[in-house]
Amino acid sequence: MADWNPGAYLQYTDERSRPFTDLIARVPGSPATVVDLGCGPGHLTAVLRARWPDTRVTGVDASPAMIERARATDPGTEYVLGDLTTDDHTAELVVSNAALQWVPGHRDLLPALADRARRTFAFQVPGNHDAPSHLLLREVAARAPYADVAGPVERRATADPAEYLETLARPGWTVDTWETTYTHVLRGPDPVLRWISATGAQPTLQALEAADPALRARFEDELGTALRAAYPEHPYGTPLAFRRVFAVATRV
């Protein structure tokens, strides 16, 4: 993938921020230092500041576009360009929001990521990879001519709460895991297409755009038609059910 698009990602800031707010609400105490792995465009630093006004935050992200946007809009926070799996920053709280699902084999990395936290390791990942939105994305992308250009869409599966508990539970730690399904009410034309175009569909869209902008437009038309059927619009908007999985591991 060429890079993330901060503007597209921030179209649904409130909906994308809500799981992070719910995650940090379960973090005990008041950490003096926080490392945010996969910080994106820095919009969630405000959530951390609202809960812990005096905390010192370091944001880490592998996307140059995201880091550039974060530094421009939040110059008072340190933002570092880096791979969240190899970055060696430590803090009282190490947190990650909707980023680990992009890391192959992320479950095997969780104990090492937790070890970077002097007090608490907390993360949230989407658990909706078999929802109609993602099933249809994989189905349409597998058709010709798109599959010949962009290849198949990987199913980025995440674990269930009990599996994350099993991975993180070890002597000296207490672990809290849970899941929540949010029903977001989206508005405007093709809102589900716009939602996934900023995240799960972005690698496919970028590959098609690079090959032929007309091919990307054709793909978006086919996918949009399928998504409108799966997520019909109502007078109040378009409901999108979105499952999230959470974990908070704290040193005893």
Over range 27-39, report the average pLDDT.
95
* Whole-number percent of the chain with pLDDT over 70: 96
The reported pLDDT for the residue numbered 9 is: 58
Q: What is the pLDDT of residues 129-143, one digit of tens each?
A: 899 999 999 999 999
How does residue 6 score in pLDDT terms, banded at 50, 70 and 90? low
In the Cβ-directed half-sphere of 170, how many Cα atoms lie within 13 Å? 8
- Residue whose entry in the numeric block shows the structure tokens 């793909």: 219
- Residue that wins the pLDDT comparison between 246 and 88: 246
CA quadruple 225, 229, 234, 237: dihedral positive or negative?
Answer: negative
In the chain the beta strands, taken as DSSP E runs, fall at 33-37, 56-61, 78-81, 91-97, 117-126, 173-186, 238-251
> CA-to-CA distance for 242 and 16, rounded, in angstroms?
10
How does residue 5 score in pLDDT terms, banded at 50, 70 and 90? low
The reported pLDDT for the residue numbered 12 is: 74
- Tell me which long-range contacts 59-65 makes (C-beta under 8 A, separation of at least 24): 59/35, 60/35, 60/36, 60/84, 60/87, 60/89, 62/38, 63/3, 63/4, 64/3, 65/3, 65/4, 65/5, 65/6
- Residue that wins the pLDDT comparison between 51 and 155: 51
- Residue whose entry in the numeric block shows the structure tokens 């297409």: 193
The reported pLDDT for the residue numbered 241 is: 96
Please check the confidence at residue 7 and state whether its pLDDT lies above 60: no
Phi/psi for 204 (5° steps) reads -65, -45
Please check the confidence at residue 169 and state whether its pLDDT lies above 70: yes
Please state at what angle helix 132-141 crosses helix 213-230, rounded to 10 degrees. Answer: 140
Instruction: Show the tokens assigned to 61.
Output: 């992200």
In 6-112 the beta strands, taken as DSSP E runs, fall at 33-37, 56-61, 78-81, 91-97
Q: In sequence order, which ranges of 77-160 are alpha helices (DSSP H)?
A: 106-115, 132-141, 146-150
pTM of the model: 0.90
> Is the CB of residue 34 less than 8 Å from the CB of residue 91?
yes
Please check the confidence at residue 156 and state whether its pLDDT lies above 60: yes
The reported pLDDT for the residue numbered 157 is: 76
Instruction: Show the tokens assigned to 171.
Output: 């002597």
The reported pLDDT for the residue numbered 159 is: 93
Is 40 in a helix, a strand, or coil? coil
Over range 221-243, report the average pLDDT.
96
Please check the confidence at residue 245 and state whether its pLDDT lies above 90: yes
> Is the CB of residue 62 less than 8 Å from the CB of residue 82?
yes
The domain covering 6-251 belongs, at the CATH homologous superfamily level, to Vaccinia Virus protein VP39 (3.40.50.150)
First to last CA, the chain: 40
Average pLDDT, the chain: 91
Q: What is the pLDDT of residues 182-198, one digit of tens each?
A: 999 999 999 999 998 88
Burial class (CB in 10 A: 0-12, 13-18, 19+), 251: middle
Over range 202-224, report the average pLDDT.
92
Please check the confidence at residue 109 and state whether its pLDDT lies above 90: yes
> Is the CB of residue 39 less than 8 Å from the CB of residue 79?
yes
Over range 223-229, report the average pLDDT.
96
